[in-house]
Structure 1
Amino acid sequence: MHFSIPETEVRSDENGSTYVAYNIHVNGVLHCRVRYSQLLGDLLLKLKHGRNVLLFYFLPVVRQDPILGSSEMFNSFLRKAQQETQQIPTEEVQLEIYLFSGQKVKVNILTSDQTEDVLEAVASKLDLPDELVGYFSLFLVQERGDGGCTYVRKLQEFELPYVSITSLHSPNYRIVLRKSYWDTAYDSDVMDDRVGLNLLYAQTVSDIERGWILVNKEQHRQLKSLQEKGSKKEFIRLAQTLKYYGYIKFDPCITDFPEKGCHVIVGAGNNELNFHVKLPSDQMKEGSFKVTRMRCWRVTSSQVPVANGTANPSSSSKCDVKLELAFEYLMSKDRLQWVTITSPQAIMMSICLQSMVDELMVKKSGGSIKKKKRLNGSFQRSDSQQAVKSPPLLDSPDPSREQVVKLSTKLSSVSLRGLSSSNSASDISGNDFHGNYAFEGIGDDDL
């Protein structure tokens, strides 16, 4: 996760006393607003860190620590601060989660429910088996005017989905359910379940329709035939053989490779970042950067002043946040090179890279992404996940919940509306950017 504190505010408390509030941004979005003393009292002292730790460096350092960064104490602090900042009371609400079939699932949750709670509520309503919950995640997306969508970020354990979507104050943002793994071998596990099959099928159709998966005329004909027969598994298996199956595509952005100022469309999938680059000469090139050849990567943010549209020079100027993803790549056996991508989605790209590495490490260790069965077939909130109370927040309602209605039978089939087709000959092609040397395996030194 990318933590930053781009600005501070002078605010007044209920007694009229002024104080400095630090606006903590997570992944480029305002997450919470805290006092320095609040951070010391609620978090630093509990973690036994000294008072001389600088706030601007403390949060990133803690988040990157494998123990502290994933601790419930740290995540609970961020969730509580997020809810208090947005001044959203703890109460029962209905949250809409969108599916790629065009349908939406309405789940009854608490405003203080964290991401895992909401995901499990969606899975319960869809009748998705417990062991398959870990194959899916909730993503925040922004709908564009052209009918497309921009993936903003994957919702994390330190945030409250209802608060996150509500605080954006825009109907263009949605929370969608999407598979969260990269290895297509896991598709078999998902397709063995009827609900999982429907979810994966709908997502595959959607990715083809928006052009994320390349399809030529003959493949288009075969897909239509399988769809008319209702052969969803065969449809997915054919899609698995197509270029860019399972990739997430990002909006056009800028890169410094192979030359500075090149326009590029980046895709994440198959344990790589794929580049479609337009050179200054208007020549198009394609290449891939394997995650196993990346020594490290970082996300940086900077403030870029923009014109405020006024003639008054004393008016405060506004700033845009410039985000960059840079990774050090093994171009050849003895040559490392930094590659930089300038994009508002740089953090989402970083999240994709990290999840690829995590999945590879789990697979190498013989682990599984399957979610362990929950007690009594339902999820239980820990004490830290209960109602978050602090003025002006309200008390939590009665914990008893209305029984959810299963929607598994309502996942209708998806039609290939306006499925785009392309000739394989017109596909952009070119040599990979990297050399021929590859790591034999993945280890701490490799990543």
Structure 2
Amino acid sequence: MLVQIPSISDAVDDRGRLYKVFNIYIGGHYHCSLRYSHLLHFSQELGRNFDTSGLDEFPTKRVFSLTAAQLDERRAGLERYLHSVCQDRVIQQSDMLKEFLVAAQKASSGVTDEDVSMEIFLINGNSVTISGQSFSRSDEVLERAVVKIGADPSLTYYFSLFLEEETGDGWTLYRHLQDHEAPFVSLKTVNSNGSFRITVRMSFWGPEMVSGVLADEAATNLLYIETIDHITKGEWEVGKEVKEKLAELGAKSLKKEYMETASTIPQFAYQQMEGLTFDHPSEDLHGFARIGRREIVTYTTEGEGEWGGAQGHGVRCRSYQLTRIRCWKVGYWESGEKWLAFHYHHGDTEEDFVWVRLVGKATIFLTLCIQSAVNELIRIKRKQSVRLPSDGSQRRKTALPIVKFHVSSQNTGSRRESEASQGSEVTDGPEEVDSAHQLPGLECNCL
């Protein structure tokens, strides 16, 4: 989970009091804005409930007023702290963290806490409508959607919720909805022009996982319509004989047999990421990538590399095995425009490890896919089963009250501007003044 705090904003609470909040982005998307006291209280609660000895130090509360440079230092320290919190596997999976982040999203969004109806789409355009609360978490919404679709609840976490965007080429994946957010709010935040929707998609990577679903007709249908979508769009490479057999099975509506055959496709369950620029095996290559459980495959019509068969003749491809990636890191890359870049350290042998860079709008989604694929490999190696739905009794509602407020402006200054204004003083109270920010450095994660 990539956490960033790129800026600081003015905020006004319900009593008209003005103070500063830190704008928190998760996975490259705005999530919430919180003041220092909210985060301090949260860190204290974490310390009472978890072993936090491995976390970055929480920025100290200062007795005296802060200069603008010190406020920016606090921003950077909070970013490091939150990133370390979200990298801790125990805390990351806890309901305490998820409920806190949903509460923060609630306070920042201005959305009313009320009963709502949500339309959840299937890949073929059909949909089901479920009832819930505007701040129901993604896992709660998914569990209700799977029941409404008619699938066995035990198969819920073979699937996930995603935001899709309507483009000139139809509906395309925008991002994966995580358990720390409320789908109703996340959709409302981006859907001002009505071009987004929430869909249910498969969330596993290995073809052997298909056998666990085929006994259930509704769940099999979900896999079936998504598989047809991937094949129709040319996102999976399918041999002529297999394609003919699939067409025959599809014409007879033999969905179980269709999925058994489709799961033999080498690129079954791969996700395709469009509009990427990468620097290996040569600089400034443009194309796309496909992510599977065991590999990243880049495709381009430029440069050098092995010939592949994707999207017609003349497309070159190069495969990078996930088991040969030592670590990866995410940071900003500037080349005319500012993008998030995904770097990974890969080598086919111990002597030829190189850093490979992928840049584009899909960078964060790409990293989430890779982490998900690796987590599945680890789970299978440990012989752990797929997550089962909760009855809700174990979910802990946050005991951390967050005052509702309205964010009135956002700081966009540069680091140089911040350094030029170091004489300005701020405090922890309502009279804090704005501070510019410095882009965070690269964060490294071992696979």
Match of residue 78 from structure 1: 101
Match of residue 174 from structure 2: 152
CA distance in structure 2 between the aligned counterparts of 1:224 and 1:386, rounded to whole angstroms: 55
CA distance in structure 1 between the aligned counterparts of 2:286 and 2:328, rounded to whole angstroms: 20
Displacement after TM superposition at 1:218 (Å): 4.7
Match of residue 295 from structure 1: 326
- Structure 2 unaligned spans of 5+: 48-56, 61-73, 306-313, 407-444
Would the aligned equivalents of 1:21 and 1:34 in 2 still touch at CA under 8 Å?
A: yes
Pairs within 5 Å for 1:245-256: 245-256=268-279
Would the aligned equivalents of 1:331 and 1:337 in 2 still touch at CA under 8 Å?
A: no
Match of residue 365 from structure 2: 348
Q: Deviations over 1:257-283 (max 9, x none)?
A: 111100121001142111112324896
Match of residue 81 from structure 2: 58
2:123 counterpart (100, 117, 128): 100
Match of residue 210 from structure 1: 233
Displacement after TM superposition at 1:300 (Å): 1.4
Displacement after TM superposition at 1:16 (Å): 4.2
Question: Given residue 95 of structure 2, which amino acid in structure 1 is its aligned partner?
Answer: E
Would the aligned equivalents of 1:96 and 1:106 in 2 still touch at CA under 8 Å?
A: yes
CA distance in structure 1 between the aligned counterparts of 2:92 and 2:171, rounded to whole angstroms: 34
Match of residue 199 from structure 1: 222
Match of residue 161 from structure 1: 183
Q: Indicate how the Cα distance of structure 1 residues 69 and 225 shifts in structure 2: closer, same or farther if over 3 A, else same.
A: closer
Would the aligned equivalents of 2:119 and 2:129 in 1 still touch at CA under 8 Å?
A: yes
Displacement after TM superposition at 1:143 (Å): 1.9
Pairs within 5 Å for 1:9-408: 9-41=9-41, 43-48=42-47, 50-52=58-60, 54-149=77-172, 151-168=173-190, 169-215=192-238, 218-280=241-303, 284-301=315-332, 321-371=338-388, 374-375=390-391, 379-380=392-393, 382-384=395-397, 391=404
SS of structure 1 residue aligned to 2:45: coil
Q: Percent identity?
A: 29
Q: Deviations over 1:327-362 (max 9, x none)?
A: 111232333211010011111111111111111111
CA distance in structure 2 between the aligned counterparts of 1:323 and 1:391, rounded to whole angstroms: 31
Q: Deviations over 1:353-396 (max 9, x none)?
A: 11111111111111111526x55xxx557351799985589xxx
Displacement after TM superposition at 1:170 (Å): 3.5
Would the aligned equivalents of 1:95 and 1:162 in 2 still touch at CA under 8 Å?
A: yes
Q: Indicate how the Cα distance of structure 1 residues 179 and 44 shifts in structure 2: closer, same or farther if over 3 A, else same.
A: same
Would the aligned equivalents of 1:112 and 1:388 in 2 still touch at CA under 8 Å?
A: no
Would the aligned equivalents of 2:11 and 2:405 in 1 still touch at CA under 8 Å?
A: no
SS of structure 2 residue aligned to 1:252: strand
SS of structure 2 residue aligned to 1:181: coil
Q: Indicate how the Cα distance of structure 1 residues 367 and 217 shifts in structure 2: closer, same or farther if over 3 A, else same.
A: closer
Displacement after TM superposition at 1:14 (Å): 4.1
Q: Indicate how the Cα distance of structure 1 residues 280 and 93 shifts in structure 2: closer, same or farther if over 3 A, else same.
A: same
Q: Indicate how the Cα distance of structure 1 residues 216 and 364 shifts in structure 2: closer, same or farther if over 3 A, else same.
A: closer
CA distance in structure 2 between the aligned counterparts of 1:92 and 1:291, rounded to whole angstroms: 43
Displacement after TM superposition at 1:90 (Å): 1.3
Question: Given residue 116 of structure 2, which amino acid in structure 1 is its aligned partner?
Answer: V
CA distance in structure 2 between the aligned counterparts of 1:385 and 1:304, rounded to whole angstroms: 42
Displacement after TM superposition at 1:238 (Å): 2.5
Q: Deviations over 1:66-90 (max 9, x none)?
A: 2233332222211101011111111
Would the aligned equivalents of 1:141 and 1:174 in 2 still touch at CA under 8 Å?
A: yes
Q: Indicate how the Cα distance of structure 1 residues 241 and 382 shifts in structure 2: closer, same or farther if over 3 A, else same.
A: closer
CA distance in structure 2 between the aligned counterparts of 1:262 and 1:268, rounded to whole angstroms: 18
Would the aligned equivalents of 2:280 and 2:357 in 1 still touch at CA under 8 Å?
A: yes
My pick for the range that moved more, 73-82 or 46-55, is 46-55
My pick for the range that moved more, 326-335 or 289-298, is 326-335
Q: Indicate how the Cα distance of structure 1 residues 217 and 142 shifts in structure 2: closer, same or farther if over 3 A, else same.
A: same
SS of structure 2 residue aligned to 1:331: coil
CA distance in structure 2 between the aligned counterparts of 1:104 and 1:304, rounded to whole angstroms: 41
SS of structure 2 residue aligned to 1:100: coil
Displacement after TM superposition at 1:102 (Å): 2.0
CA distance in structure 2 between the aligned counterparts of 1:275 and 1:70, rounded to whole angstroms: 31
Question: Given residue 297 of structure 1, which amino acid in structure 2 is its aligned partner?
Answer: W
Displacement after TM superposition at 1:35 (Å): 1.0
Q: Indicate how the Cα distance of structure 1 residues 202 and 216 shifts in structure 2: closer, same or farther if over 3 A, else same.
A: same
Given the two structures, how large is their TM-score scaled by the length of structure 2? 0.78
Q: Indicate how the Cα distance of structure 1 residues 89 and 8 shifts in structure 2: closer, same or farther if over 3 A, else same.
A: same
SS of structure 2 residue aligned to 1:138: strand
Displacement after TM superposition at 1:65 (Å): 1.5
Q: Indicate how the Cα distance of structure 1 residues 446 and 346 shifts in structure 2: closer, same or farther if over 3 A, else same.
A: closer
SS of structure 2 residue aligned to 1:237: helix
Would the aligned equivalents of 2:293 and 2:377 in 1 still touch at CA under 8 Å?
A: no
CA distance in structure 2 between the aligned counterparts of 1:99 and 1:349, rounded to whole angstroms: 22
CA distance in structure 2 between the aligned counterparts of 1:216 and 1:86, rounded to whole angstroms: 48
CA distance in structure 1 between the aligned counterparts of 2:335 and 2:34, rounded to whole angstroms: 24
